[in-house]
Amino acid sequence: MQRIVVLAGGIGGARFLRGLKEAAPGAEITVVGNTGDDIHLFGLKVCPDLDTVMYTLGGGIHEEQGWGRSDETFTVKEELAAYGVGPEWFGLGDRDFATHIVRTQMIGAGYPLSAVTEALCARWRPGVRLLPMTDDRVETHVVIGTEDGGRRAVHFQEYWVRLRAEPPAQAVVPVGAEQAKPAPGVLDAIAGADVILFPPSNPVVSIGTILAVPGIREAIADAGVPVVGLSPIIGGAPVRGMADKMLAAVGVESTAAAVAGHYGSGLLDGWLVDTADSGAVAGVEAAGIRCRAVPLLMTDAGAAAGMAREALALAGEVRA
């Protein structure tokens, strides 16, 4: 059986995974999920990226939005607002609240996040093994300028959701990452993988944060198996969201080729760019990364499955 490890953020990772399940129905897929976006709200621990993967693969996602639950209502949020209790900028729906209540209750009872995630997945049956990158607390903070010329750090969610990534990001810091340990199962899955994939997730705050947990980057580089990524940047801009702002903060241009270079040939063996970026192929190959231009828009599950097939085919090529 083919063993595939995928490092995943939220929407880009989840939609790709849905395609990968269709493209490789017999494979054993382990997902290492980003937890740097996690935030405590109303006393509850919220794990946006893990939940997006879980809901998307488990059939509970709000399809158009790409995150949150389908058939959602917002009574609790309205009641909290009536008490003047915020933040009001983070939309938690009633169904979603239940997930965070269960998670927080289990963590309070002493279970690590990995065990909690497994318990939540017992309901959703995502068809993959979903592991948080770490059981330790890691929080991505973004450094922005203040009006008086100083600097301040804000939680990634505040930067992304409340500030809509408008203030230029001077730095992105995965607070706590240096002391974090990979969650149980992460390093074993990487060491036992036949293929490792980077879906079109945010290279800085999703995949970059996972790679910042000591041991994970090294394990991937040492696994001795093909590592293939798919560009989240098409035609010089993110397909959705504001990944360009995060790339600028780490000094990387928002192009498919620059993202490949950012990961580097020490980590990546293969890289898929969109057909719109076919002009970038030669440069990426010159940098020592096998590259192909294929359609990379996940317009539906079938398109995502096509991308997953291309990624696995490229992995087969670089192995040879």
| Residue ranges at the known binding site | 51
- Residue 243 found at the interface with ligand GDP (CB under 6 A): yes
Binding to Ca ion in span 45-84, by CB under 5 A: 49
DSSP 10-71: SHHHHHHHHHHHHH-TT-EEEEEE--TT-EEETTEEE-HHHHHHHHHHHT-B-TTTSSSBTT
Q: Provide the terminal-to-terminal Cα distance of the chain, rounded to the nearest Å.
A: 19
Contacts of 131 (CB under 8 A, 6+ apart): 30, 31, 32, 33, 114, 117, 183, 184, 185, 186, 189
For residues 31 and 293, which CB has a smaller minimum distance to Ca ion in the complex?
A: 31
For residues 134 and 202, which CB has a smaller minimum distance to ligand GDP in the complex?
A: 202
- Residue 9 found at the interface with ligand GDP (CB under 6 A): yes
For residues 24 and 307, which CB has a smaller minimum distance to ligand GDP in the complex?
A: 307
Binding to ligand GDP in span 211-240, by CB under 6 A: 230-232, 234, 238-240
For residues 55 and 124, which CB has a smaller minimum distance to ligand GDP in the complex?
A: 55
Region from 7-15, 86-94, 120-128, 182-190 binding ligand GDP, contact rule CB under 6 A: 7-15
> What string marks each residue from 136 to 175 as x (binds ligand GDP by CB under 6 A) or -?
----------------------------------------
- Residue 9 found at the interface with Ca ion (CB under 5 A): yes
Choose among ligand GDP, Ca ion, none what residue 195 binds, the Cβ cut-off being 5 to 8 Å by kind: none
**CA pair distance 18, 109, nearest whole angstrom:** 32
The count of residues interacting with Ca ion (CB under 5 A) is: 4
Choose among ligand GDP, Ca ion, none what residue 298 binds, the Cβ cut-off being 5 to 8 Å by kind: ligand GDP
DSSP 214-240: TTHHHHHHHS-S-EEEE-SEETTEESS
- Cα within 13 Å of Cα(74), Cβ side: 11
Torsional class of 283: left (φ above 0), alpha (ψ -120 to 50), beta (otherwise): alpha
Residues of this chain that interact with Ca ion (CB under 5 A) are 9-10, 37, 49
